[in-house]
Structure 1
Amino acid sequence: MEIGSGKWGIVFVLLGVICSVEGLNGSPRVRGVNLGGWLVIEGWIKPSLFDGIPNGDMLDGTEVQFKSVTLKKYVSADDGGGGVVTVDRDNPLAWETFRLWRVSESAFQFRTSSGQFLTCDQDGGSITATARSPSSTETFYLERSNDNRVHIKLKSGTYLQASNSNQLTADYPGKPGWDENGATFELIIVSNDLHGDYQIANGYGHDKAAEVLKKHRNSFITVEDFDFLYRHGMNTVRIPVGWWIAYDPEPPPPFVGGTLEALDNAFSWAQTFGIKCIIDLHAAPESQNGMEHSASRDGTTGWPNSPDSISQTLNVIDFLASRYSNHPSLLGIELLNEPSAASVPLDTLVSYYKQGYKIVRKHSSTAYVIFCQRIGSADPMELYQANLGTENTVVDLHYYNLFDSYFSNMTSLENIQYIYKARQTQVQALNSANGPLVFIGEWVNEWDVTEGSLYDYQEFGRAQLDVYNAASFGWTYWTLKNDRVHWDFEWNVRNNYLQLQLGRSSAMCLPNFLHVLGCLCVCWVLL
């Protein structure tokens, strides 16, 4: 009896070592992956999602220009809006570029560079750029030819034309052909970069979008993916969600329901495999950065200028914290992903973060509250100096050797040296700062090196792991699955481009009785 007791005592000591390796209150540091492109859509991650949208090159936010085929001049909202619309510019710049708000596959509203909408009160009138918000009088109907010529008409059926006095007027007589006439314009698509939740939902329409997105959510991330992560030593998933999740199953249009059920599934799968979850509010009302992953409608950033949007966002945090605070798989809640330094003032962000921290603490004393740094030119130290909260706080940094001309001509060796010099220096400085823990919430084993070999990628990945493993909270890779293979965590691991070299000690405590029992049996045999 005494011998048996001694053996079991050693067994439980061994289990304690497995389940309490380093870092966060007895848990290991975060070693994880983002589930990007799942509950918040990013078209570049899975472009095929958009294949079935009619007129798919004219989604919300697409930038277009119109050139009169008779005058050889561009349609222009002088001064960016506020007055009449002319057809008198030889060189198209900002005033001649309009952002689409899509009403249907053939009906659109046109937003100027300063935010007004083109409008026309009646047949025979001039088109002006004076409306602050769009309605029926700001809605125009487009007819397209095969060679990207267009006719623009009012709901009444009257066509717009470029008049001889260089005005845009709604008075073309009859129905125009595609020959050289005042009602025919060349359509130039300047950019079609936004492929987020707004674009896919508004592009397909509610019913079709619900069908497409349900199929995507049920297949893109599954329980088998959590098994893969567990088997490769990952202990955390960071799950991007959009603000509309709080209104599931019937969120405001054009968004469609289903993300809340999928998030519940993720928490259930995580619990099965002993994996922790970080809920990341990736998209806030009216967009915090104008990008597709913030569900921006047209590339503008309205969130910081709208007290109602900020209040609504805090309500979403309250909903998420209330729903998941007692779930054993919740590790933390990230209050906002990548607010723009160019558009979101620091004092606005700090105020929001402080309120969000209090809301999470109302529901949980232990969940980590994560504050993402502003993207752009902001210094992450600004958040360490802001006194955002006192318990279990984290600052999230996103490290990419991409998206900046600084990296465009670097060799593989120079990229690796940058990781060790610049990144490591910053991680060490923030680790030692008095304040939140350090989290590399997004990074990827990709760069601007055009002909990197397998060995080059392995060395680049090894450098990043060396440096990011030292972050006091940990890291999560962007992202688990991606059409671009080097962004795809699973592909990188399976093809040996990313060599994790993580022992089982990096995993969370074993997830269920069967795993624990198996571990006990192995230890008993060894003893």
Structure 2
Amino acid sequence: MCMYLQSYRSRPVGVHGDGSGAGAAPPLAVPHAGALRLPTAPSLDSEKDGTRITVQSVTNKMYLSAAGGGGSKVVANGSKQRNSETFRVQLDGSVKANGEPGGSWSNSDPAVFIIYINESKRMDGDFQLCSFYGANQTVKMLQDHWNSFITEDDFRFISSNGLNAVRIPVAWWITRDSGPPSCHPPNYPGYQAVLDRAFAWADKYNLHVIVDLHAAPGSQNGFAHRGSRDGTVAWGDATSIAMTVQVIEALADRYASWKDLLAIELLNEPLAPKVTLDTLKKYYTAGYTAVKEKVQRSDVYVIMSNRLNTQDPTELVEFTSTFDNCVIDVHYYNLYNLNFPSVKENIDFVKTNRSSQLNSLMRANGARVFVGEWTTEWGVQGANEEDRTSFADVQMDVYGQASFGWAFWSYKNNNTNWSMKDMIEKGKIYTQMVPKNLNMIENMRKIFRVTNESKYQKKKIH
């Protein structure tokens, strides 16, 4: 593939064939990685494309550097990985190889470079897996994972511990798993069957299912687990919206008859301002219509996620109030932009700010409100187990006020603070059986009351 380089500061650079950087000469050949080329168009838009990379000589250990910050030439004399030594790459879909006929490269050649992926946000989604291992091996790995990571025992555990619903994230390619394995476009045979199996287990253990479209075509926020290949947000044009509506329609049609279907979430965490509010409303209207045309039931909801980084958390309140059985999804983390250093600050913020935010979203005759993601991970250093339990308690108390309840992210994780299963088993989150029936909202309210009573009783016993 051809990879067009630009400096991290978004200024085009020239690359000399011998690596000296003297002018815009023929492409610099990089074995096993493609060809680095001078852009023939204006500077690339750094917000739209390009994984960050650094390129280091195998022999002299120096990095390619954009002289003067970019705009002129590249020199192989950088001693550190700084902005001037960081580039973005853009794939043009073609294949190009530069080399001498009959010749070969060796590690003694100073023109042989190592390319390092240098992304601040780790890209480790299905796209990256498939690009590395190839389609056939990726499908085998995914199928092994699907068959072992979440099993029927997990659904039994969820039900027996007083929880009454599962929110299952899926990618847009779930509805296109026929035919041979493929990376581009993604096609992983067996994917749809995994969700079918989850519905069957949920039915067996009297659990409700929320199907969450977590990754849309082009990616709605640029994160790897939202279907991005390189951090790009490319969702929102007419084509990607139409494709997404088709996915929602197919999911609604397939699971409409399952009594455990509680809701379909049209899109997870679209990113502002890249995804505009007008674009999102247009899609939500089309997606809602697609669900309601396929699901002729009054007990199934349509969930519309708030945008990440929005300046107005209430921006969907009036819009969603025009739809029946509609839910606004908000995600509350005391992380990232809200990283409080003390236990008290974290707990006080949930008690005051989060509670106030929820109240501002819940209106008479308006959409229900769902805290679709929260966790017990935080930025407090040296916190003990009692602190962690208190943090979980206050979140359950406050988020229990939400009219559609909450969902913990996630059920199972290697990090205990992100794993509800571990939190329950270690006594950091207390749950209790509640009556199970189709009145989901009443059950969601009851679980919080029962949980709070139970936790204090347990503390007295111990």
Which TM bucket (shorter chain)?
A: 0.7 to 0.9
Larger relative strand fraction: 1
* Aligned partner of 2:86 among 93, 97, 101: 97
Aligned residues of 1:67 and 1:74 also touching (Cα < 8 A) = yes
Residue of structure 2 in register with 1:157 after alignment: 99
Higher relative contact order (CA 8 A, sep 6+): 1
Q: Name the SS of the counterpart of 2:319 in structure 1.
A: coil
User: Aligned pair count?
Assistant: 384
Residue 44 of structure 1: aligned partner: none
Query: Where does residue 127 of structure 1 map in the other structure?
Result: none
Shift of 1:188: 4.1
Does 2:268 match 1:337? Answer: yes
1:491 pairs, out of 398, 422, 427, with: 422
Spell out, residue by residue over 1:279-317, the C-alpha distance to the aligned partner (whole angstroms, 9 max, x if none): 00000011111101112111111112x321111011000
Q: CA deviation at 1:78?
A: 9.8
Corresponding residue SS for 1:385: helix
Quick one: which of 145, 152, 158 aligns to 1:229?
Answer: 158
In structure 2, how many angstroms separate the alpha carbons of the residues matched to 1:71 and 1:215? 40
Q: Indicate whether 1:190 and 2:118 are aligned.
A: yes
User: Which amino acid in 1 is paired with 2:128?
Assistant: Q
In the alignment, the residues of structure 2 paired with residue 317 and residue 95 of structure 1 have an alpha-carbon distance, to the nearest angstrom, of: 44
Shift of 1:379: 2.3
Retained in 1: the 8 A contact 2:288–2:302?
Answer: yes
CA distance in 1: counterparts of 2:197 and 2:68, whole angstroms = 52
Q: Structure 1 residue 389: deviation in Å? A: 4.2
Where does the alignment leave 5 or more consecutive residues of structure 2 unmatched? Answer: 1-31, 33-48, 440-462
Alignment of 1:350-429 (within 5 A): 350-365=281-296, 366=298, 367-387=300-320, 389-404=322-337, 406-409=338-341, 411-429=342-360
Counterpart of 2:41 in structure 1 is none
The reply on whether 1:74 has 2:36 as its aligned counterpart is no
Residue matched to 1:258: 190
Instruction: Spell out the pairing of 1:33-52 with structure 2 (5 A cutoff).
Output: none
User: Matches of 1:340 and 1:297 in 2, distance apart?
Assistant: 16
* TM-score of the superposed pair, with normalisation by structure 2: 0.76
Aligned with 1:86 (options 56, 61, 74) = 74
In structure 1, give the amino acid aligned to 2:141: V
C-alpha displacement of 1:376:
1.4
The change in CA–CA distance for 1:387 and 1:417 in structure 2 (over 3 A counts) is closer
TM-score computed with the length of structure 1 as normaliser: 0.67
Residue of structure 2 aligned with 1:327, choices 255, 258, 262: 258
State the distance in 2 between where 1:76 and 1:134 align: 25
Where do 1:66-215 residues align within 5 Å?
A: 66-67=55-56, 72=62, 74-76=64-66, 86-87=74-75, 96-98=85-87, 110-111=89-90, 117=91, 133-137=92-96, 154=97, 157-158=99-100, 175-179=104-108, 182-185=110-113, 187-191=115-119, 193-215=122-144
Report whether the alignment pairs 1:65 with 2:54: yes
d(CA) in 2 for partners of 1:198 and 1:61? 15
**Aligned counterpart in structure 2 of residue 284 of structure 1, from 212, 216, 235:** 216
Superposed CA RMSD in Å reads 2.9
Q: 1:447 aligns with which of 375, 378, 385?
A: 378
User: Quick one: structure 1 residues 509 and 231, their matched pair in 2 at CA, closer, same or farther if it must change by over 3 Å?
Assistant: farther
For the structure 1 residues 389 and 205, does the alpha-carbon distance in structure 2 shift closer, same or farther, using more than 3 Å as the test? farther
Distance 2:387 2:231 in 1: 36
Whole-angstrom distance in 2 between the partners of 1:326 and 1:445: 35
Provide the residue aligned with 2:280 in structure 1: 349
Q: How does 1:238-257 map to 2 (within 5 A)?
A: 238-250=167-179, 253-254=183-184, 255=186, 256-257=188-189
The match for 2:200 is: 268
Partner of 2:162, secondary structure, is: coil
Gap regions ≥5 residues in structure 1: 1-54, 100-109, 112-116, 118-132, 138-153, 160-172, 511-527
Post-superposition Cα deviations, 1:363-407, rounded to whole Å, max 9, x if no partner, equal: 124220000011113423111122474210000000011112x42
Distance of 2:242 and 2:127 partners within structure 1 = 21
Go from structure 1 to structure 2 and tell me whether the alpha carbon gap of 1:217 and 1:85 turns closer, same or farther (over 3 Å shift): farther
SS in 2 for 1:136: coil
SS state of the match for residue 224, structure 1?
Answer: helix
CA contact (8 A) 2:272 2:310 kept: yes
- Judging changes above 3 Å, is the alpha-carbon distance between structure 1 residues 330 and 200 closer, same or farther for their aligned structure 2 residues? same
Structure 1 residues 241, 176: CA separation in 2 closer, same or farther (over 3 Å shift)?
closer
CA offset at residue 199 of structure 1?
1.0
